[in-house]
């Protein structure tokens, strides 16, 4: 596709702005003093819980991704059907918290931080897989923003009060989907994985990085973490369309999923869960809940009618076969009944699916044992 000179000029300007913002990223908070009137260490009883979110499009609908409508790469401008439709937003509601504001959209007051922040980006990876794309945020970049926030809280509230606040707060991690999408485009074809060992090695690299991040959070006094696994990527509409077009002609159910890709994701999830359990045993007073959305969504796809869905194959919002040739460009391209669909766009589930997942994560309803070794409700009140 030929790019016009005007579009190329706009892209250059946007890139320069993004580069400048990236250079200033670690200084955003120190350069903006917060208002702390009405808050002192004596009010620490009110600082019992907050939710800090780090993640990809499973956590951010594009609100926290600067210039996302211009510089998106996954061909979906609306990765969620509503800004309050993601799993962490449903969990915030169950915790009695308002929707955590986006990092780039916060109001720069201490009160604005006390319910948490969303550092997530609609395009984000565990590894920095494409440094040439300025909006492609890595886990480490979001982690740096989180550490800047913690340091700011310590400055404004005092070390002791801030540490108590962080220890009682929940940190939510949801990454890996974009890493695997990028990996599969370079290592997988209709004939299968180019190297059987490369998938295992890739999972090890990602898990090692995730474990390092959780250890770093522990060193920053974080004691409660929700770590969400990767959904069954092999069942997503875009995956089915790209890797096995013939399967796209099938009806509902797992017969349309790409088993080879799901096995890769499953291996990563199991490896991550096992190491999380080990970390819980190793670190004093550490509570990490691993939430297996993979198996829950696979169960829904295998028997959608059981859970109230009619379509487990095609995206509600998208264009072309399975709604997956082009992603969700506007709400006007969405289906009339998103409640009937498992998938919202190319790779993300609908609000109805996320609501089911949130109920299961919180109390074990629908999908018992989805979060282990404890439910999110138990995690919130753990001491």
What pLDDT is attached to residue 189? Answer: 62
Torsion-angle region of 42 (φ positive above 0: left; ψ -120 to 50: alpha; else: beta): alpha
* Contact partners, residue 94, CB within 8 Å, separation at least 6: 358, 362, 376, 377
Whether residue 6 lies inside any domain: the answer is no
From the list 269, 283, 18, 226, the residue with the least C-alpha distance to 141 is 18
pTM value surpassing 0.75: yes
Least confident interval from 44-48, 188-192, 205-209, 303-307: 44-48
Q: Is residue 16 part of a domain?
A: no
Q: Tell me if 212 is assigned to some domain.
A: yes
CATH number at residue 52: 3.40.50
Looking at the domain assignment, is residue 228 inside a domain? yes
> For the chain, how many structural domains are there in total?
1
| Among 4, 64, 85, 72, residue whose Cα is nearest residue 326 | 72
Q: Give Cβ neighbours of residue 132 (< 8 Å, ≥ 6 apart).
A: none
Q: Are 292 and 221 in contact, with CB atoms under 8 Å apart?
A: no
Of the candidates 174, 362, 186, the one whose C-alpha atom is nearest the C-alpha of residue 269 is: 174
* Statement: residue 133 has pLDDT above 60: no
What confidence score (pLDDT) does residue 39 get? 39
| Phi, psi values for residue 170, rounded to 5° | -105, 135
Q: Number of H helices and number of E strands within the chain?
A: 13, 11
Where do we find the tokens 């072309």? 320
Residues near 168 by beta carbon (within 8 Å), at least 6 away in sequence: 47, 48, 49, 223, 224
Whether the CB-CB separation of 157 and 110 falls below 8 Å is answered with yes
Residue 318 in any domain: the answer is no
Domain range for residue 58?
45-240+259-294+367-380
Confidence of residue 5 (pLDDT cuts 50, 70, 90): very low
310 domain-assigned: no
Instruction: Give a yes or no: residue 142 inside a domain.
Output: yes
Within a domain: residue 301? no
Residue 122, pLDDT above cutoff 80? yes
Q: Who has greater pLDDT, 75 or 235?
A: 235
Least confident of 123-137, 237-251, 315-329: 123-137
Instruction: Report the C-alpha gap between 144 and 97 in whole angstroms.
Output: 24
The predicted-structure confidence for 266-317, as pLDDT tens digits, reads as follows: 999 999 999 999 999 999 999 999 999 999 999 999 999 999 999 999 999 9
Task: Please report the pLDDT score of residue 36 as a whole number.
Answer: 42
DSSP assignment string, 157-186:
H-HHHHHHHHHHSEEEEE--HHHHHHHHHH
List Cβ neighbours of 273 (8 Å cut-off, separation of 6 or more): 229, 290, 292, 372
């Amino acid at each position: 596709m030929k790019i016009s000179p005007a579009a190329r000029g706009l892209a250059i300007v946007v890139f320069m702005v993004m580069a400048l913002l990236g250079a200033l990223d670690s200084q955003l908070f120190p350069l903006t003093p917060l208002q702390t009137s009405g808050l002192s260490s004596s009010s620490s009883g009110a600082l019992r819980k907050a939710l800090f979110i780090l993640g990809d499009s499973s956590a951010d609908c594009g609100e926290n991704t600067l210039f996302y409508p211009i510089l998106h790469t996954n061909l979906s401008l609306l990765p969620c059907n509503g800004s309050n439709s993601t799993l962490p937003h449903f969990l915030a509601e169950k915790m009695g918290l308002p929707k955590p504001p986006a990092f780039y959209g916060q109001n720069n007051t201490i009160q604005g931080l006390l319910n948490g922040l969303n550092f997530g980006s609609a395009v984000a990876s565990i590894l920095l897989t494409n440094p040439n794309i300025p909006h492609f945020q890595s886990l480490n970049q979001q982690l740096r923003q989180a550490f800047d926030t913690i340091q700011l809280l310590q400055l404004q509230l005092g070390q002791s009060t801030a540490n108590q606040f962080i220890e009682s707060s929940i940190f939510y991690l949801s990454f890996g989907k974009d890493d695997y999408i990028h990996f599969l485009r370079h290592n997988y074809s209709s004939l299968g994985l180019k190297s059987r060992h490369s998938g295992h090695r890739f999972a090890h690299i990602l898990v090692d990085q995730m474990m390092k991040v959780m250890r770093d959070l522990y060193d920053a006094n974080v004691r409660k973490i929700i770590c969400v696994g990767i959904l069954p990527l092999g069942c997503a509409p875009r995956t089915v369309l790209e890797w096995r077009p013939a399967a796209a002609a099938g009806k509902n159910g797992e017969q349309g999923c790409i088993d080879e890709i799901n096995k890769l994701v499953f291996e990563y999830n199991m490896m991550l869960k096992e190491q999380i359990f080990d970390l819980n045993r190793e670190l004093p007073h550490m509570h990490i809940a691993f939430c297996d959305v993979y198996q829950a969504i696979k169960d829904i796809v295998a028997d959608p009618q059981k859970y109230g869905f009619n379509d487990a194959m095609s995206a509600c919002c998208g264009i072309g076969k399975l709604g997956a040739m082009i992603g969700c460009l506007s709400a006007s391209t969405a289906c009339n009944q998103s409640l009937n669909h498992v998938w919202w766009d190319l790779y993300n589930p609908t609000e109805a699916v996320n609501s089911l997942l949130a109920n299961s994560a919180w109390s074990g309803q629908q999908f018992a044992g989805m979060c282990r070794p404890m439910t999110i409700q138990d995690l919130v009140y753990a001491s």
